[in-house]
Amino acid sequence: MGSIEEQITEIEDEIRRTAYNKATQGHIGRLKAKIAVLKLEREKRAKSSGGGGLGYGVRKSGNATVALVGYPSVGKSTLLTHLTGAESHAAAYEFTTTSIIPGMLFWRGASIQVLDMPGLIPGAARGRGRGREVLSVVRSSDLVLFLLDPEHLEFRSLLAELEGAGVRVNQRPPRIVLAPRDKGGLEIHSTVKLTRLDERTVAAIAKEFRFHNGEVLFREDAGADELIDTLAGNRIYLPALLTVNKADLLPPEKRVEVTRRLSPHPALFISASRDQGLTELKDGIADALSFVRIYLKPPGRPPDLSEPVILRKGDTVERLLERLPRELTEAFRSAQVWGRSARFPGQTVGKDHPLADQDIVTVVMARGSRA
């Protein structure tokens, strides 16, 4: 048997040679599972040999982190500078940026960390051109901002690089639940009719991941890819925005053509160097990050509407407490909520209550505590 890389290539070739139909879909599913397992093994080795990991050591800060992803020379550094004021050298040759450069964007009350990065090149997921480090930074971000040059619209291959690194953009995790057990064999259940997978294929794919005992529960009509993602267990699901930069060089009639070529992915046209479309872009970033503003109200006093605490959609009271002074958190007894997440004004809730945008919250402290 050859190296991991050779084995992956060999199986990929076999998949390419195999026509996809009802009779072959089980076989193809099994081959895809083999590739996924080999890639997990490759990641494990890269980590233990010191490569990969958070090579660049950027520390996350602000309310959320956005990763600028694109091929060399598309204008990532120019955009960082125009969005955040941070200096990142821009130049008319490729691979100008060789490390991660952070900047901070303040927009609609939130502080958003933007990361400029080296350009991605095909093969990044295999470690080409610092690709592994860049992709690991992408994995730890909260939003991917894709930048394309109108002259190079290969968005699909950019997406493929991220997919190869286990990043799924603008997708939700598959509705498949795994319940591993120590013994008893494999049980397959589903709450919906499965049209893309049969039991034999499910069992064969599970076997590749050494999932021999336990339950696989399908809550959707999933295919092999979704099952493999669930079994691999290390996929990251991120929202993403697609922008086409250098729109100043693009005549209006060409825009229509570019839009058509990128379809079904909606793209925003900007010019980083000329500050065109950047307000829309900032709004798009803030929307995609689903910020939630929470106003604090000290007991018996009006709420402080000047400085909200910024959380993300779905965050609970517990998340809010993490952002407050220790004394408040330690003495927490309950919270009172006014606003969209409350069933009635002033509802008393616990730490697991999910908050909504513009909620007003009073932290009720246990009796006898100071602060």
Ligand X SMILES: Nc1nc2c(ncn2[C@@H]2O[C@H](COP(=O)(O)OP(=O)(O)OP(=O)(O)O)[C@@H](O)[C@H]2O)c(=O)[nH]1
Distances in Å between the Cα of 162 and the Cα atoms of 144, 150, 159, 265, 325 are 10, 20, 5, 16, 38
Q: Does 371 bind ligand X (CB under 6 A)?
A: no
Among 7, 25, 96, 170, binds Mg ion (CB under 5 A): 96
Distances in Å between the Cα of 190 and the Cα atoms of 182, 202, 300 are 21, 12, 52
- Specify the residue, 9 or 98, whose C-beta has the smaller distance to Mg ion: 98
Q: Does 177 bind ligand X (CB under 6 A)?
A: no
Collapse the DSSP code of 6 into the 3-class scheme (helix H, G, I; strand E, B; otherwise coil) and give the result: helix
CB of 149 to ligand X, least distance (A): 8
- Specify the residue, 4 or 91, whose C-beta has the smaller distance to ligand X: 91
Contact 58, 137 (CB under 8 A): yes
Among 140, 273, 316, 336, binds ligand X (CB under 6 A): 273
Q: Does 131 bind ligand X (CB under 6 A)?
A: no
Burial track 314-349 (b if 16+ CB lie within 10 A, e otherwise): ebbbbbbbeeeeeebbebbebbbbbbebbeeeeeeb
Among 5, 9, 47, 91, binds ligand X (CB under 6 A): 91
Binding track over 13-52 against ligand X, x by CB under 6 A: ----------------------------------------
Contact 202, 223 (CB under 8 A): no
From the list ligand X, Mg ion, none, which binds 272 (C-beta under 5 to 8 Å, kind-based)? ligand X
CB of 76 to Mg ion, least distance (A): 5
Q: Does 317 bind ligand X (CB under 6 A)?
A: no
Q: Does 97 bind Mg ion (CB under 5 A)?
A: yes
| Chain centre to alpha carbon of residue 14 | 30
Q: Does 77 bind Mg ion (CB under 5 A)?
A: yes
Interface residues for Mg ion in 17-76 (CB under 5 A)? 76
What is the DSSP secondary structure assignment for residue 219, as one 8-state letter? Answer: S
Q: Does 92 bind ligand X (CB under 6 A)?
A: yes
Q: Does 361 bind ligand X (CB under 6 A)?
A: no
Amino acid at 321: L
What is the DSSP secondary structure assignment for residue 125, as one 8-state letter? Answer: G
As a whole number of angstroms, the distance between CA 124 and CA 95 comes to: 14
Q: Does 76 bind ligand X (CB under 6 A)?
A: yes
Among 35, 74, 162, 294, binds ligand X (CB under 6 A): 74
Q: Does 73 bind ligand X (CB under 6 A)?
A: yes
As a whole number of angstroms, the distance between CA 181 and CA 215 comes to: 8
Residue ranges in contact with Mg ion by CB under 5 A: 76-77, 96-97
